[in-house]
Structure 1
Amino acid sequence: MDGLLVDTEPLWTIAENEAAARLGGRFTPEMKLAMIGHGIDTAVPIMVSMLGRPVSDEPATTEFLLRRSAELFREPGAVVAQPGALDLLGAVTAAGVSTALVSSSYRALVDAVVAVLGAHHFTVTVAGDEVARRKPFPDPYLAAIRLLGADPAACVVLEDSLTGAAAGIAAGCATVLVPSMPIAAADLPGQVAARVDSLHAVDLATLAGLVHRPDPARADSG
């Protein structure tokens, strides 16, 4: 969601800068890269550790980030769709393809974004506070797949972070990386099905070509 379908990373960055300042430090690009794609429960310990602060600072920092990000998300016009996102969602919806929005963000933030993108585009949504383990674990995608009644091999995951891509791959889905931040070629997982620069480069034919389709002749032969 964040960074892939909507350009909310600048909003998160505002909250993260403010959180770091509250801890007497400075939020850096290195922190952003380390935290992106994580749920807030795993992102905050990364920030606190990189700032050299004690673990005891984590609960208050988590509370601040949740409250501040929710405020920013609710500001009129703050949540903006990424280039190509609405076109792709429209095409997928028109084709009748089941779609899940799977995010590490908590439900309150997911609902704010869905209201902007249009709830009719998503068959199901899974938020970060609704699973036991968040990305990079496969649990969020596996939960969505169960809700869809789908086979992981017939699903394509679109992700903007290495953390999210790891979750999609671990769930057994063909995974396309659309980076929202620069990622070195050496850091790309070998199992990524494709890497593209924008959602404009993704269409239904591309997605269909990535999924596993059983051989009907083999199925008929028993």
Structure 2
Amino acid sequence: MSVELRAVLFDMDGTLVDTEGMWWDACAAVAAELGLELTDAETGHVLGRPVEHVAAHLLRRAPSSPSSSDTADTTDARLAEVGGWLIEAFAERIAEGVTPLPGAIRLLDDLRAADMPVALVSASPRQIVDTVLRTIGAERFALVVAAEDTVRAKPLPDPYLKAAANLGVAPAECVAVEDSPTGLAAAHSAGCRVLAVSGGMTVPDDVLIMDSLERVDLPLLRRLIEGRTSIG
């Protein structure tokens, strides 16, 4: 039985807007405050991850990280504190302006003109998402799922499952557009078809990799949902 494309679900950071460098810089600044140097080996713990995950990762590495004898309340308070630092550092950077990635606005507008429902599915907190939406336009999205909207975050499927359910469509009727292994894993495990806009990743055979959104259009997304991943 053929499947029809009924919605397109977009990651935000690194997919629609060029903010991953800002997020990395914010994490590096907070790491330095904790006496750490952030390295490329930690990319998987930083990019595409929710604030809580990054805060926990930094605290595990920090020389002054809580010991096993600390109470759970103390540990939770420290996680919340470092998470707040991360959000503040990131917010300061994106407040200076964000740049949509090539092809992003054109694709969003084409989908809107075709009455194709579009959702934003981000691991960033709502505060960050709302700031970015002032640049790319909240009106371009029928639904926004931010970090606070699900208990479990990417790479688990919950954010994509919530987006599909709230749009009233099945995950298999959605194409998710992602740029990180973490987001790709979340979308794929949710049952979405996935288009990756970043090279250098090992992906399942049914995931299409493109070098940018400039060559992505609605006909291509429809071919992808049908299981035809060729760009020809």
Count of residues in correspondence between the two structures? 206
Distance across 2 between alignment mates of 1:162 and 1:45: 19
Q: In the TM superposition, what is the alpha-carbon distance from 1:20 to its structure 2 partner?
A: 1.0
Q: What residue number does 1:16 align with? A: 27
Secondary structure of the residue aligned to 1:209 is helix
| Structure 2 counterpart of 1:153, one-letter code | A
Match of 1:38 in 2: 49
182, 191, 212: which is aligned to 1:198?
212
Residues 96-143 of structure 1, C-alpha deviations (whole Å, 9 max, x = no match): 100000000011111111111011210100001111100011110111
- 2:200: which partner in 1? 183
Ranges of 4+ aligned residues in structure 1 off by more than 6 Å: none
Aligned to 1:207: 221
TM-score (norm 1): 0.86
Q: Percent identity?
A: 37
- Return the alpha-carbon distance in structure 2 between the equivalents of residues 53 and 183 of structure 1: 35
Structure 1 residue 158 corresponds to structure 2 residue 172: no
Corresponding residue for residue 118 of structure 1: 137
Instruction: Give the SS at the match of 2:224.
Output: coil
Unaligned stretches of 5+ in structure 2? Answer: 1-11, 67-74, 228-232
Instruction: Pick from 114, 118, 130 the counterpart of residue 95 of structure 1.
Output: 114
- Quick one: higher RCO (CA 8 Å, sep 6+), 1 or 2? 2
Whole-Å separation in 2 of the counterparts to 1:160 and 1:51: 28
SS in 2 for 1:210: helix
* Root mean square deviation of aligned Cα: 1.8
Alignment correspondent of 2:37: 26
Matched residues in 2 for 1:167 and 1:45: separation? 20
Q: Structure 1 residue 68 and structure 2 residue 79: aligned?
A: no
1:174 to 182, 193, 202: 193
**How far is 1:68 from its partner?**
1.7
Q: Secondary structure at the match of 1:156?
A: strand
CA offsets per residue over residues 174-216 of structure 1, 9 Å max, x none? Answer: 011112xx635xxx13254201111112111110012149xxx
Q: Show structure 1 runs of 5+ residues with no match.
A: 214-222
SS in 2 for 1:168: helix
1:59 is the counterpart of 2:80: yes
Determine helix, strand or coil for the equivalent of 1:125. Answer: strand
Cα distance in 1, alignment partners of residues 64 and 116 from structure 2: 46
Distance 2:224 2:63 in 1: 43
Q: Secondary structure at the match of 1:101?
A: strand
Could you tell me which amino acid in structure 2 is paired with residue 6 of structure 1? Answer: V
